[in-house]
């Protein structure tokens, strides 16, 4: 919040507003301590991700295990580089790379032991009952889902550790550790290996601890945004009971009080964001590198002669963990954007000038959604990554995606905004249609090329081999049918792109027409003298503005 206030042109403000600025700075100088109530709805996530590492015994275990792992990693590197081989890398690399990630996680847990407390110290959590029963039930439902995910994911990690503890003595992943202990302490080697395997319980929990910390912090703030958005919805009063709401002092005073509360709350959200970035920005790149190392280890485990179920389990946990990180960050940003949309849906035209100015101030601040952007090129809740994970599955499940997307908006005729706009839309639509035709023709050409290929085509020979084994007499016929289906497959590969293009470009054309109406606001008036008192002119402007507001609401829907 300090950063935002410094960038404002406060020297242009009057004395009254400068006093308010001083008041804000005085309050912000003493940050509000976070109050985690006994009925914390995300308590399991907080306990698994943070609280258990604050006990003295656990801290000592972390230090001892970190020292042991660091020593073993150095010894493994030393022995590996004496006689390096790809076979040894594939065998022993997966556990080695996981130990690298675990060691870094241990170090962060020791150095920043109160990460959750430090992140949440700047925000005072409202009670989840303060915004009504519907919001409370929604928060409780989502918190149960988050807690269930944390418990299941942790159970899978504990199962992975247990599989190491119960593994045979010549377990290929641990055999390098066995060799090191045989050289260092041959008599106690088996005991040392067993103790090492037991430490994997702590290592498995540490691998997912920081994910739970991030989920806890972001989802708690998301729940607070639910409560704040409910307060915004409460700005819409019962106007039927008021004859002239703009001149009703009691109504305007209530609106002003709620707006000031919302402004204060949004400033708290911004302060939380800046505090989180300050605490976490230096960690995101090292964690990303460690996550990549674990991913390489998982790939190496799938290159082994026998793929163990343990490798599949780690891959599943990794997928769950990364997906939860992306989802948590994206849900926070979505709710922040929803706050802006709810303000646009308020009955602001019934407010006086003072309250409208406050609304403009809120809209300026809320126009930039709250997301954890750690650098100019890296955002942990990157929208495109979210789309890549889920979009194709969602589109395939919704066969009528175009009709369902467009049914909430009535398309204006392209002639309704003048000839210039009509010609522009016609010109761009021709270009889009031309692209679709050419792109589809290239895809059909690809399918035709495969269909006319020889029987021993290198791309198809594996399918030909399978068909020869299953039905040798009809293998050639089935192979030809398979090639014919590639025309349909080629079209299916690009159909979802065309759906998105159709929907977005139609909406873009509607925006062209809406912008044309906006440009004409008051442009047909020749005499601009004393228009503020011209009732006919003001009624015309009001009518056009209402039409533009309604259309913008259609676009938002």
Residue 361 near residue 355, CB atoms below 8 Å: no
- Radius of gyration of the chain from its Cα atoms, rounded to whole angstroms: 31
Residue 51 CB neighbour total at 10 angstroms? 13
Segment among 69-73, 380-384, 487-491 with least mean pLDDT: 380-384
Residue 258 near residue 163, CB atoms below 8 Å: no
Residue 543 has pLDDT above 80, yes or no: no
The pTM for the full model equals 0.62
* HSE-up of residue 132 (Cα within 13 Å, Cβ side): 10
- For residue 373, the SS3 value is strand
Residue 297 near residue 311, CB atoms below 8 Å: no
> Average pLDDT, whole number, for the chain?
78
- For residue 407, the SS3 value is coil
Looking at the DSSP assignment, which residues form a beta bridge with residue 379?
Answer: 373
Segment among 163-177, 312-326, 459-473 with least mean pLDDT: 459-473
List pLDDT tens digits, range 434-469. 998 898 888 888 777 776 766 655 555 556 666 666
List pLDDT tens digits, range 80-120. 788 777 777 777 778 888 888 888 889 998 988 888 888 88
What's the rounded Cα separation, in Å, for the pair 119 and 113? 12
* Contacts of 201 by beta carbon, 8 Å cutoff, 6+ apart: 158, 161, 162, 165
- For residue 374, the SS3 value is strand
In degrees, to the nearest 5, what angle opens at C-alpha 149 toward C-alphas 145 and 155? 145
List pLDDT tens digits, range 216-256. 999 999 999 898 888 888 776 656 666 777 777 888 888 88
Residue 201 near residue 158, CB atoms below 8 Å: yes
Give 352's DSSP letter. -
Residue 317 near residue 160, CB atoms below 8 Å: yes
* Contacts of 214 by beta carbon, 8 Å cutoff, 6+ apart: 280, 325, 328, 329, 380
Listing DSSP states for 521-555 in one string gives TTTT-S--TTGGG-HHHHHHHHHHHHHHHHHHHHH
Is residue 379 within a helix (H) or strand (E), and if so which, with residue range?
strand 378-379
Looking at the DSSP assignment, which residues form a beta bridge with residue 378?
Answer: 375
Calculate the alpha carbon distances from 410 to 37, 429, 496, 555 in Å.
49, 19, 23, 10
What's the rounded Cα separation, in Å, for the pair 337 and 33? 26
For the segment 490-504, the average pLDDT, to the nearest whole number, is 81
- What pLDDT, on a 0 to 100 scale, did the predictor assign at position 454? 63
Residue with tokens 């599943």: 316
What 311-319 contacts at long range (C-beta under 8 Å, 24+ apart), as own/partner pairs, is 311/94, 313/156, 313/159, 313/160, 313/163, 314/98, 314/160, 316/156, 317/153, 317/156, 317/157, 317/160, 317/208, 318/294
For the segment 384-410, the average pLDDT, to the nearest whole number, is 60
Percent of all residues in the chain with a pLDDT value above 70, rounded to a whole number: 79
Segment among 91-100, 366-375, 541-550 with least mean pLDDT: 366-375
Strands 373-375 and 378-379: antiparallel
Closest C-alpha among 128, 106, 49, 107 to residue 325: 49
What's the rounded Cα separation, in Å, for the pair 203 and 187? 26
Residue 376 has pLDDT above 80, yes or no: no
Give alpha helix (H) positions in 303-418. 309-344, 353-366, 383-397, 401-406
Residue 378 near residue 284, CB atoms below 8 Å: yes
Q: Where are the domains of the chain?
A: 31-397, 401-519
Residue 209 CB neighbour total at 10 angstroms? 21
């Amino acid at each position: 919040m300090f950063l935002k206030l410094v960038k404002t042109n406060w020297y242009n403000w009057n004395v009254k507003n400068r006093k308010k600025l001083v008041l804000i700075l005085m309050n912000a100088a003493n940050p509000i301590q976070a109050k985690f109530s006994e009925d914390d709805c995300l308590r399991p996530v907080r306990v698994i991700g943070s609280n258990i590492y604050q006990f003295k015994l656990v801290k000592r275990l972390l230090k001892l295990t970190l020292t042991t792992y660091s020593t073993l990693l150095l010894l493994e590197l030393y022995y590996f580089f004496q006689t390096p081989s790809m076979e040894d890398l594939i065998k022993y690399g997966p556990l080695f790379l996981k130990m690298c990630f675990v060691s870094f996680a241990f170090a962060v847990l020791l150095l920043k032991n109160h990460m959750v407390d430090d992140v949440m110290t700047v925000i005072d959590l409202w009670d989840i009952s303060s915004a009504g029963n519907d919001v409370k039930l929604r928060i409780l439902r989502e918190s149960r889902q988050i807690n269930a995910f944390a418990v299941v994911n942790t159970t899978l990690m504990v199962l992975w550790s247990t599989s190491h503890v119960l593994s045979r003595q010549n377990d290929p992943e641990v055999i390098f550790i066995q060799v090191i202990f045989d050289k260092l302490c041959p008599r106690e080697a088996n005991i040392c290996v067993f103790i090492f395997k037991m430490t994997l319980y702590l290592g498995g929990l540490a691998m997912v601890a920081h994910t739970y910390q991030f989920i806890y912090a972001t989802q708690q703030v998301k729940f607070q945004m639910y409560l704040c958005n409910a307060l915004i919805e409460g700005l819409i009063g019962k106007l039927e009971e008021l004859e002239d709401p703009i001149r009703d002092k009691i109504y305007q005073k209530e609106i002003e009080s709620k707006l000031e509360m919302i402004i204060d709350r949004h400033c708290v959200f911004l302060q939380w964001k800046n505090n989180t970035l300050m605490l976490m920005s230096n960690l995101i790149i090292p964690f990303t590198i460690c996550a990549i190392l674990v991913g390489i280890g998982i790939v190496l485990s799938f290159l082994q002669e026998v793929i163990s179920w343990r490798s599949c389990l780690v891959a599943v946990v990794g997928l769950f963990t990364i997906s939860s990180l992306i989802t948590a960050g994206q849900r926070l940003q979505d709710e922040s954007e929803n706050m802006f949309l709810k303000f646009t849906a308020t009955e602001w035209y019934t407010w006086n000038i003072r309250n409208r100015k406050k609304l403009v101030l809120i809209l300026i601040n809320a126009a930039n959604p709250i997301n954890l952007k750690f650098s100019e090129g890296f955002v942990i809740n990157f929208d495109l990554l979210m789309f890549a994970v889920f979009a194709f599955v969602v589109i395939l499940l919704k066969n009528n995606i175009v009709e369902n997307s467009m049914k909430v908006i009535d398309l204006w005729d392209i002639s309704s905004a003048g000839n210039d706009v009509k010609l522009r839309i016609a010109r761009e639509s021709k270009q889009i249609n031309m692209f679709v035709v050419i792109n589809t023709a290239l895809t059909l050409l690809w399918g035709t090329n495969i269909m006319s290929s020889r029987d021993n085509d290198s791309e198809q020979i594996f399918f030909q081999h399978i068909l020869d084994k299953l039905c040798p007499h009809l293998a050639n016929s089935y192979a030809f049918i398979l090639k014919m289906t590639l025309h349909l497959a080629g079209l299916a590969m690009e159909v979802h792109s065309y759906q998105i293009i159709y929907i977005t470009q139609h909406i873009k054309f509607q925006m062209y027409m809406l912008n044309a109406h906006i440009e004409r606001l008051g442009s047909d008036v020749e005499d601009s003298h004393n228009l503020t008192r011209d009732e006919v002119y003001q009624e015309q402007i009001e009518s056009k503005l209402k039409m533009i507001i309604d259309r913008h609401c259609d676009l938002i829907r």
